[in-house]
């Protein structure tokens, strides 16, 4: 049996015996070391910096708010509910402040800007984290109506744009950082509804914002999480909504899918979520923190093993590969078809 040491020794011998391969190895190693060193530089003065985060009732936003609070940042956490705001305040220091903000309401955002402006003064806003989001309604496109799309787009995309535009004057004062939470589903569409559409839109908006704001010293980063256990992937929220969508479909549409399709679809959803969803939200919030604290933040952060090893690489492959994968993952309609 050949040992690992002998294989490694043989490979090194082969590489080092070829000047071009040796040069390439040295260049790769040097580049990796330089990238690691550059990536590790952090800014100073956390205690003088203010960060505004949306969607802090639970999930990534809640954890990030507490994480940055412990680092000494002045955190202003936007929550949708009084319960979420009270629980976060109880779990944090007195420095952290909470606000009730609805990102689909421009007036609510305007009031938040006024509050933050009084807090930050002339130093401006160091960080804006657009984290608020929703996933449902989500499901096959044929099951959707226009209001189902707008419910998600209003929060995940238009809310991100509205919040960002209203906070830009404060960000330009700092100059600060914008961290937008997209998704691996902003790279590839696995399902219908507004979720994938909204995350593709966040990617595009963030790219254009980054290029335009670069001249003002504002840095923009995109977080692309894989599947994590948050309200976005919560089956006890997704499944009742899928039943609502299925129940209102005309009989001929249901017949075209087949009488077992809906139950098979639910089983596939449950299997995928249980298999892929990670409970470790810090994998995402650590990326957010790096985007806010690194001297040279990255443009994109893939978060989670499935994002880095599966979804992001898959997004670079031809579309037929992804289509084949979806056909394997989800049930196929077995009802009446016109040929």
Active site residue 195: yes
Q: What integer pLDDT is reported at residue 272 of this predicted model?
A: 82
Q: Mark whether 323 and 280 lie in a shared domain.
A: yes
User: pLDDT tier at 13 (50, 70, 90 boundaries)?
Assistant: low
Q: In what order do the strands lie in the sheet with 177-181?
A: 97-100, 74-79, 50-53, 127-130, 177-181, 219-225, 300-303
Q: Say if 338 falls within a structural domain.
A: no
User: pLDDT tier at 19 (50, 70, 90 boundaries)?
Assistant: confident
* pLDDT digit string, tens, across residues 291-320: 999 999 999 999 999 999 999 999 999 999
Decide if pLDDT at 25 tops 70.
no
Q: Say if 164 falls within a structural domain.
A: yes
Q: Say if 16 falls within a structural domain.
A: yes
Q: Say if 127 falls within a structural domain.
A: yes
- Which ranges of 93-217 would DSSP assign to H, the alpha helix? 106-120, 146-153, 159-173, 194-213
Which residue, 46, 103, 4, 313, is CA-closest to 188? Answer: 313
* pLDDT digit string, tens, across residues 215-237: 999 999 999 999 999 988 889 89
Q: Mark whether 134 and 170 lie in a shared domain.
A: yes
Q: What integer pLDDT is reported at residue 307 of this predicted model?
A: 95
Q: Say if 41 falls within a structural domain.
A: no
What's the mean pLDDT in 183-207? 95
Average per-residue pLDDT in the chain? 92
Q: Mark whether 134 and 8 lie in a shared domain.
A: no
Q: Mark whether 27 and 119 lie in a shared domain.
A: no
Q: Mark whether 56 and 24 lie in a shared domain.
A: no
Q: Say if 339 falls within a structural domain.
A: no
Neighbouring-strand partners of residue 228: 278
Q: Say if 334 falls within a structural domain.
A: no
Q: What integer pLDDT is reported at residue 329 of this predicted model?
A: 85
d(Cα 92, Cα 179) in Å, to the nearest integer? 22
Q: Mark whether 12 and 68 lie in a shared domain.
A: no
* pLDDT digit string, tens, across residues 100-135: 999 999 999 999 999 999 999 999 999 999 999 999
Q: Mark whether 75 and 105 lie in a shared domain.
A: yes
Q: Mark whether 257 and 318 lie in a shared domain.
A: yes
Q: Mark whether 10 and 94 lie in a shared domain.
A: no
Identify the helix (H) or strand (E) that includes residue 54: none
Q: What integer pLDDT is reported at residue 33 of this predicted model?
A: 83
Q: Mark whether 201 and 59 lie in a shared domain.
A: yes
Decide if pLDDT at 7 tops 80.
no
Q: Mark whether 31 and 51 lie in a shared domain.
A: no
Q: Say if 67 falls within a structural domain.
A: yes
Q: Mark whether 300 and 208 lie in a shared domain.
A: yes
* pLDDT digit string, tens, across residues 31-74: 778 767 887 888 999 999 999 999 999 999 999 999 999 999 99
Decide if pLDDT at 15 tops 70.
no
CA count, 13 A, side-chain hemisphere, 159: 29
* pLDDT digit string, tens, across residues 69-95: 999 999 999 999 999 999 999 999 999
CATH number at residue 86: 3.40.50.720
Give me the number of domains the chain comprises: 2
Both structure tokens of 275: 């298999």
Q: Which of 50, 195, 261, 265 is catalytic?
A: 195
Both structure tokens of 233: 């992937």
User: pLDDT tier at 259 (50, 70, 90 boundaries)?
Assistant: confident
Q: Which residue range forms the structural domain that includes residue 316?
A: 46-329
Is the model more confident about 8 or about 286?
286
């Amino acid at each position: 049996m050949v040992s690992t040491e002998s294989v490694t020794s043989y490979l090194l011998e082969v590489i080092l015996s070829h000047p071009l391969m040796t040069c390439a190895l040295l260049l790769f190693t040097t580049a990796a070391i330089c990238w690691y060193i550059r990536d590790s530089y952090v800014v100073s003065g956390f205690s003088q910096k203010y960060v505004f985060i949306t969607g802090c009732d639970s999930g990534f936003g809640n954890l990030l708010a507490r994480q940055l609070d412990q680092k000494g940042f002045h955190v202003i956490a936007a929550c949708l509910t009084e319960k979420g705001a009270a629980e976060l305040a109880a779990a944090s220091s007195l420095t952290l402040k909470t606000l009730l903000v609805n990102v689909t309401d421009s007036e609510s955002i305007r009031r938040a800007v006024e509050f933050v402006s009084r807090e930050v003064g002339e130093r401006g806003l160091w960080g804006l984290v657009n984290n608020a989001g929703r996933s449902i309604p989500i499901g096959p496109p044929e099951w959707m109506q226009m209001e189902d799309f707008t419910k998600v787009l209003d929060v995940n995309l238009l809310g991100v744009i509205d919040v960002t535009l209203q906070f830009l004057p404060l960000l330009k004062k700092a100059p600060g950082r914008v961290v937008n939470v997209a998704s691996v589903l902003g790279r590839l569409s696995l399902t219908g509804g507004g979720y994938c559409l909204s995350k593709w839109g966040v990617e595009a908006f963030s790219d254009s914002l980054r290029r335009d704001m670069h001249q003002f010293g504002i840095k923009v980063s995109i977080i692309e999480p894989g599947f994590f256990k948050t309200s976005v992937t919560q089956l006890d929220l997704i499944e009742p909504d899928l039943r609502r969508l299925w129940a209102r479909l005309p009989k001929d549409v249901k017949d075209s899918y087949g009488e077992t399709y809906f139950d098979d679809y639910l089983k596939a959803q449950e299997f995928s979520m249980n298999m892929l969803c990670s409970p470790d939200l810090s994998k995402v919030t650590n990326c957010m923190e790096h985007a806010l604290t690194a001297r040279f933040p990255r443009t994109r952060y893939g978060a989670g093993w499935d994002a880095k090893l599966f979804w992001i690489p898959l997004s670079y492959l031809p579309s037929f590969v992804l289509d084949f994968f979806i056909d394997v993952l989800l049930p196929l309609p077995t009802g009446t078809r016109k040929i």
